[in-house]
């Protein structure tokens, strides 16, 4: 597949996924774990898309926009990284995947402000829409919103097309000219990105009451050599056991309190004396 065809496929997938996700009120279809396999399927290498989607999701899952901060764009970063790994990197090779993972965060950070610059353009139409709402013209309001709904995705899709069409070739030439120690650094950085993503997420959900399960899972993976599926089954069993034990305790307390409230003294005078 040529670079131009790959760029067009990436832009089409990006446009469709973002429009459908917005139409369904943000159902997380733009997350790397969904977008990366779709890009891999569009570019003819579904396996690489799945592998990179899982790794990229682990990297971006702990990154979110807080207040006015502009977080890295996980969607465009993942698309360009997967496109590079498939088109220029030769598919699901260790070198191409680790290099793509290392580049994804940088690309996503660069793309996020570009997407944000387009938002004020659409906000200029808000006073006009308020005027239509005041005039009770729902049909005009609906159709104009539908037009803007499709138009808003076009600038980002065009930028993504240019980034893939021109950027992948540039990245390929740049990486080919890099010495071996730089590529070793890319590989180490790509391997660390997943750990960084998990670390950011862990810092948000860390609780001293359940932190012991983190270390249990680590021991199961490293010392016992259990697979992720086996550890997930064990974790689900422990979670269900704790849930039902707490439920039984709560039910027992409720039954005791109900019995105590209904079995009051028959004669208040006898109870008093």
pLDDT given for residue 222 in this prediction: 83
Structure tokens that stand for 14 in this block: 């990006």
Question: Which is more confidently placed, 252 or 97?
Answer: 252
| 84-114 exposure pattern, b = at least 16 Cβ within 10 A, e = fewer | bbbbbbebbeeebbbbbbbbbbebbeebbee
Cβ-Cβ contacts under 8 Å for 230 (sequence gap 6 or more): 220
Taking 80 as the threshold, does the pLDDT of residue 26 lie above it?
A: no
Residues whose CB falls within 8 Å of the CB of residue 266, separated by 6 or more in sequence, listed in order:
none
Do the beta carbons of residue 123 and residue 76 sit within 8 Å? no
In this structure, what token pair is assigned to residue 37? 């396999």
pTM: 0.63
Residue with more model confidence, 258 or 42: 42
Percent of the chain with pLDDT over 90: 3
Residue 196 C-alpha from the chain's centroid: 14
Distance between CA atoms of residues 176 and 203, nearest Å: 37
Neighbours of 125 (CB within 10 A): 12
pLDDT band for 161, please (50, 70, 90 cuts).
confident
75 within 8 A of 119, measured Cβ to Cβ = no
Each residue of 195-208: pLDDT tens digit?
A: 666 676 677 677 77
Q: Which residues contact 58 (CB under 8 A, 6 or more apart)?
A: 194, 197, 198
Kindly state the helix (H) or strand (E) to which residue 91 belongs, with its residue range.
none
């Amino acid at each position: 597949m040529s670079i131009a065809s790959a760029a067009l496929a990436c832009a089409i997938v990006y446009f469709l996924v973002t429009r459908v996700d917005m139409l369904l009120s943000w159902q997380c279809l733009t997350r790397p774990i969904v977008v990366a396999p779709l890009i891999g399927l569009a570019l003819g290498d579904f396996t690489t898309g799945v592998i990179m989607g899982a790794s990229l999701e682990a990297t971006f899952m702990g990154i979110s926009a807080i207040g006015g901060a502009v977080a890295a764009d996980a969607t465009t970063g993942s698309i360009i990284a997967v496109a590079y790994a498939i088109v220029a990197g030769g598919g699901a090779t260790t070198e191409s995947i680790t290099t793509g993972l290392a580049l994804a965060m940088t690309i996503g950070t660069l793309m996020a402000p570009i997407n944000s610059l387009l938002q004020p353009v659409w906000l200029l139409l808000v006073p006009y829409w308020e005027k239509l709402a005041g005039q009770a013209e729902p049909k005009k309001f609906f159709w104009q919103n539908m037009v803007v709904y499709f138009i808003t995705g076009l600038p980002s899709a065009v930028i993504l097309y240019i980034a893939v069409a021109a950027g992948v070739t540039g990245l390929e030439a740049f990486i080919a000219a890099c010495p071996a120690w730089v590529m070793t650094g890319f590989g180490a950085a790509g391997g660390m990105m997943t750990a960084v993503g998990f670390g950011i997420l862990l810092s948000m959900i860390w609780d001293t009451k359940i932190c012991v399960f983190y270390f249990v899972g680590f021991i199961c993976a490293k010392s016992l050599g259990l697979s992720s599926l086996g550890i997930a089954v064990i974790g689900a069993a422990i979670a269900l056991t704790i849930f039902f034990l707490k439920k039984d305790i709560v039910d027992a307390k409720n039954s005791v309190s109900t019995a105590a409230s209904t079995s009051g003294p028959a004669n208040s005078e006898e109870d008093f004396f």
